[in-house]
Amino acid sequence: MRLKDKVALITGGAAGIGKATAQRFVEEGAKVVICDVNTKAGEAALEELGPNAAFYQVNVADRQAVQEWVDAVVDKYGRVDILVNNAGVLRDNMLVKVKGGEMVKQMPEAEFDLVIAVNLKGVFNCTQAVAPYMIKQGGGVILNASSVVGLDGNFGQTNYVATKAGVIGMTKVWAREFGRYKIRVNAVAPGFIATEMVQQMPEKVLESMVARVPLGRLGKPRDVADAYLFLASDEASFVSGAVLRVDGAIVVGT
């Protein structure tokens, strides 16, 4: 019961890594509040998580909606001990695609803006809403979802990589800004994880992904959840400003 009676907020908690993290935190005694834009998935996740969990429909890119969510959670539980900034989206495209010397396609500006709004500004929004409460109560833990591509780059992911690299930068800034208030801030950088979305990919694509992982398998959402659990717990009481790779020693291709 490493998180006994801790109040944990998890964005994008209706599926994948977010849901696995919520499950892991509940197992360790936390009161978990998940948010997601998908109401149906959120309510289904809540049924699995049980009585020590709650769900709110929130778009993390909407600053006012985020503030209302955080305020409501504090009104109900009295505090916020852990924030996991997990919500994210993908809109992969090459910056420019050239064929026969002519540009045939480019990343739409709307796709760039959407990924920045959710993956980067969403982390900013949630952290800015939660931090004053953590400062007032004398401490807390903020955990941010980055990615190995935020460290290594990846073909066709200008927007996504920009957000995940930006999250690492913000993590390091906030670890310095909030340290005096006993707030620890860390990031987790997953590799290829077998979420529901990934498992729907063609078999050939999955095989090529596994081939790039020296440990010989895709990660499980629980693998990442366990990393979040360690960083959220008192076992990581002197860990802040870190980026923990959970990737099976992946080699990101070009």
Give the separation between CA 105 and CA 191, rounded to whole angstroms.
28
* CA 106 to chain CA centroid, nearest Å: 27
Is 149 exposed, middle or buried, given 0-12, 13-18 or 19+ CB atoms closer than 10 A? Answer: buried
CB 120 within 8 A of CB 60: no
Mark whether 133 is an active-site residue: no
CB 28 within 8 A of CB 4: yes
Question: What is the number of other CB atoms lying within 10 angstroms of the CB of residue 245?
Answer: 18
**SS3 for 112?**
helix
**Residue of 56, 133, 160, 228 marked active site:** 160
Cross-strand bridge partners of residue 31: 7
Give the relative orientation of helices 122-137 and 63-77 as an angle to the nearest 10 degrees.
30
Length of the chain in terms of residues written: 254
Strands (E), the chain: 7-11, 31-36, 53-57, 82-85, 96-99, 102-106, 140-145, 183-190, 243-246
List the one residue out of 192, 145, 149 whose CA is nearest residue 171.
Answer: 145
Cross-strand bridge partners of residue 56: 35
**Which residues participate in catalysis according to the annotation?**
160
